[in-house]
A and B are shown apart, each in its own frame.
Chain A
C-alpha cells in the first residue's frame, strides 16, 4: 500500500498535543531542580545556590513530615479498603433487585454525587454536619449533646473517608455491574435445576464472577497510596484538624505557595511524585501479570 507519505500528516496531527505537553508537563519538570537549591525567587533557577540534599534532610527532620506522611497513608489506605468493599456489596444488592424501573431510579440517584465538585459537596457537608445542622438535630432526638464535627481531629479522617465513599460508591459500581452482565445466564439456570437456592447462586456464581474485576481494581488502586484526595481535604479541613487531616498535598500548598518555601515544598512534592510513579508502574505491571490488563 502507498501509505508512505502519511507519516508527515501524522506528525502534523500530533503537533498541537505535543506542544501542549511540552509547555505544561515537560518544561515544569525542569523546575524540580529547585528541590536541590536554596531557591530565591529573585535569583531564579540559574543563580540560586545549590545545596544538594539539604532540603530533603530538613524535611525528614521536621515533625510535620512524619505527621503528613502518616495522615496521607492512613486516609488513603482506608479509602482503598472502603472503595473496594462498598461498591461490590452495592452492586450485588442492585443485581438481586428484580424491579427494573426501581433499579434505574436508584442508579440515577446514587451516580449523581460523583459529578458534583468537592467545593460544592464540602459546602453541603459543612451545612449538614454543622453545630445546628440536621445530623446534630438527629443526635438531640437521642438526647446526645451536639458535636462540632468539623473541629474534632479524632473524627476528621473518618469523616473524610465516609464522605468520599458517599460521593463515589455509586459511580464505582458501574464497572461491577458491567462485569455482572458478563456472567452467562445459563450458569444460573443450571444451578437452579440442580437445586441451588438464591444464596447458593450468589455465593458460587455471582461472587466468583466479579472477583477478577475486584482484584484488578484493587491492584490499580495501589498507585494511590500517597493520594489521599487533595480537593476533598483542602475544602473540608481547618487548622483545628491539621493534626489528623493535613496531607502531603495540602502541606505543600501551604508551605510552598502561602509561606513561599519553594525549595522545601518542591522537594516534598518531588518525593511524592517519585514514590507515586514507582507504585503506579508496579501496579500496572502486577495488573498485566495477574489479570492481563493493559491500558493501551
Chain B
C-alpha cells in the first residue's frame, strides 16, 4: 500500500469526499423529495414549500390509496405478471442455455440454432406487426401477453450459456460415464453449480417485469387489466400530457391542479418492491455482469 502524506494529496482527498457526497445526494434527494411530498399537506405541496422534511405531516394520501380498488387491482396484475414471468423465463433460459453450451461435436445443429437466435435478437419487425400478431392470437387483455410479448430473454440465455461453457468439462463427463442422462445432469449438477448467475438473471427478469409499462398500455384495452406501471403512467404521468393544449398557461394550471401528494404516494408505493429486493440485487449484479462474459 502506498501512503501519500503530502498536503496537496490530503486536500485532494477531502475535495473528492465532498464531491462524492454531493453526487450521492443528487441521486437520492429526488427520491426522498417524492416521499416527503407524499407525507405533506396538499396545499403545502402545491405551493412548493416542501423541502427536506414534510410540511404538515399526514398519511391522508396513503389512506386514500387504501380505498382505491383500481390501484390494488393493478398491483395484483403486476404481482401475477412478475411471478409468471420470472418462473417462465427461468425455465426457458436454463433449458435453452444448456444445449446451446454444447460444442458442435456433441450437438450438430448448435451453431445454426445459435445464429437464428442472434439474428432474432438484433432484428425485429417493430411495434405494429407485433400488435397485429398478438391480436391474431387473441391475447389482447390477457395477462399472458404481459409475460410473453417481450419475447425470449435472449441476453439471459447468452449470459447463462457462457457461464455453463466455463464450467469444467470433466464434471459433466464423469456424470455421463456414471450413466446420467442430460436431464439428470442439468438438474442435479449444472444448476446447483450455477446459482450465482441464475440468481442474477432471475432478479433481472423480476425487475424488468415489474418496471415494464408499455405492453400493458398497448395490449390492454381495459384499465382493469393494467399492470401497476401502466396504471401510474396513465393516471399520474400521462395526465400531464393528454389534457393540455399547446398553451404553457394550461400546463402551468394543470401542474397546480393535479393532486401532487396522492401521485407522489402512488409513485413511492410502486418503488417499494424494488427497494425491498435491492439488497439482494446488489449482492448479485456486480458479480453477475462479469460472470457470463467470455473468457479466452
A131 located at the interface, meaning its Cβ lies under 8 Å from any Cβ of chain B in the complex: yes
Chain B residue contacts of A122, Cβ below 8 A = 237
A24 contacts B48, CB within 8 Å? no
Bound together, the chains give a CA A131 to CA B218 distance in angstroms of: 31
A150 touches B251 (CB 8 A): yes
Report yes or no: A130 in contact with B20, Cβ–Cβ below 8 A: no
Complex contact A270–B294 (CB within 8 A): no
**Residue B7 is within 8 A (CB to CB) of chain A in the complex:** no
Check A295–B252 contact: CB distance below 8 A. no
A116 and B274 form a contact (CB under 8 A): yes
Shortest Cβ distance from A97 into B: residue: B16
Q: Are B27 and A109 in contact (CB under 8 A)?
A: yes
Q: How far is the CB of B55 from chain A (nearest CB, A)?
A: 13
A-chain residues with CB within 8 Å of residue B237 when the two chains form the complex: 119, 122-123, 126, 235
Chain A: interface secondary structure?
helix
Contact with A along B123-159 (1 / 0, CB 8 A): 1111111111100010000000000111110000110
Are B158 and A295 touching (Cβ within 8 A)? yes
Complex: A189 Cα to B12 Cα, angstroms: 20
- Asked if B182 contacts A252 (CB within 8 A), the reply is no
A3 at the interface (CB under 8 A from B): yes
CA distance A124 to B107 in the complex (A): 51
Min distance, Cβ B201 to any Cβ of chain A, angstroms: 14
Chain B residues lying within 8 Å of A293, measured Cβ to Cβ, are 294
Which residues in B have their C-beta under 8 angstroms from that of A11? 99
Binary contact track B237-268/A, C-beta < 8 Å → 1, others 0: 10011001110100110011000100110010
Q: Are B157 and A3 in contact (CB under 8 A)?
A: no
- CB < 8 Å: which of A98, A113, A266, A295 contacts B128? A266
Contact of B113 among A14, A230, A235, A295 (CB under 8 A): A14
* Complex: A18 Cα to B132 Cα, angstroms: 20
Q: Are A123 and B236 in contact (CB under 8 A)?
A: yes
List residues of A (265-296) whose CB comes within 8 Å of B's CBs.
265-266, 269-270, 272-274, 276-277, 280-281, 292-296
A266 with B129: in contact, given A115-B281, A130-B255, A238-B241 (CB under 8 Å)? yes
Bound state CA distance, A237 and B241, in angstroms?
8
Do A109 and B16 contact each other (CB < 8 Å), given the known contacts A31-B129, A269-B128?
no
Q: Is the CB of B95 within 8 A of A132?
A: no
Q: Which A residues are in CB contact (< 8 Å) with B157?
A: 17
**Least Cβ–Cβ distance between A52 and chain B, in angstroms:** 19
- Is the Cβ of A23 less than 8 Å from the Cβ of B162? no
Q: How large is the interface on A (under 10, 10 to 19, 20 to 34, 35 or more residues)?
A: 35 or more
Complexed CA–CA distance, A29 and B47 (Å): 51
> Min CB distance, B182 to chain A, in Å?
4
Q: Is the CB of B176 within 8 A of A3?
A: yes
A116 touching B46 in the complex, CB below 8 Å, given contacts A17-B95, A110-B24, A296-B294: no
- State whether the Cβ of A102 lies closer than 8 Å to any Cβ in chain B: yes
In Å, the complex CA distance between A30 and B129 comes to 8
Output the least CB separation between B206 and chain A (Å).
Answer: 10
CA distance A127 to B51 in the complex (A): 12
Is A119's CB under 8 angstroms from B232's CB?
yes
Q: Which partner residue on chain B sits nearest A270 by CB separation?
A: B126
Whether a CB of chain B sits under 8 angstroms from the CB of A47 is no
Q: How far is the CB of A99 from chain B (nearest CB, A)?
A: 8
**Would you call B82 an interface residue if the criterion is a C-beta within 8 Å of the partner chain's C-beta atoms?**
no
Task: Report B32 CB to chain A, min CB distance, Å.
Answer: 10
Find chain B residues with CB under 8 A from A230 CB: 214
How far apart are the CA atoms of A237 and B251 in the complex, in Å? 12
Q: Would you call A13 and B182 a contact (CB within 8 A)?
A: yes
Contact present for A1 and B173 (CB under 8 Å): yes
Determine whether the beta carbon of A120 is less than 8 Å from that of B182: no
State whether A272 touches B126 (Cβ < 8 A): yes
Of the candidates B47, B127, B151, the one whose C-beta lies within 8 Å of that of A24 is B151
CB of B92 within 8 Å of the partner chain: yes
Given contacts A1-B176, A17-B152, A131-B255, A27 and B133 within 8 Å (CB-CB)? yes
Contact indicator B92/A9 (Cβ below 8 Å): no
Contact check, A28 vs B255: say whether CB atoms are below 8 A apart: no
Residues of A within 8 A of B (CB): 1, 3, 6-7, 9-11, 13-14, 16-18, 20-21, 23-32, 34, 45, 90, 93-94, 96-99, 102, 105-106, 108-113, 115-117, 119-120, 122-128, 130-134, 136-137, 148, 150-151, 166, 170, 174-175, 178, 188-189, 192, 197-198, 230-231, 234-235, 237-240, 249, 252-253, 256-257, 262, 265-266, 269-270, 272-274, 276-277, 280-281, 292-296
Give 24 pairs: A residue, B residue, CB < 8 Å, sorted on A: A3-B176, A10-B182, A14-B96, A16-B92, A20-B151, A24-B151, A29-B124, A30-B129, A96-B16, A110-B24, A117-B270, A137-B48, A148-B248, A174-B285, A178-B290, A197-B4, A197-B6, A240-B244, A240-B251, A257-B131, A273-B124, A280-B122, A295-B294, A296-B118
With A17-B92, A21-B120 known, 4 other A-B pairs at CB within 8 A are A18-B113, A25-B124, A29-B123, A34-B128
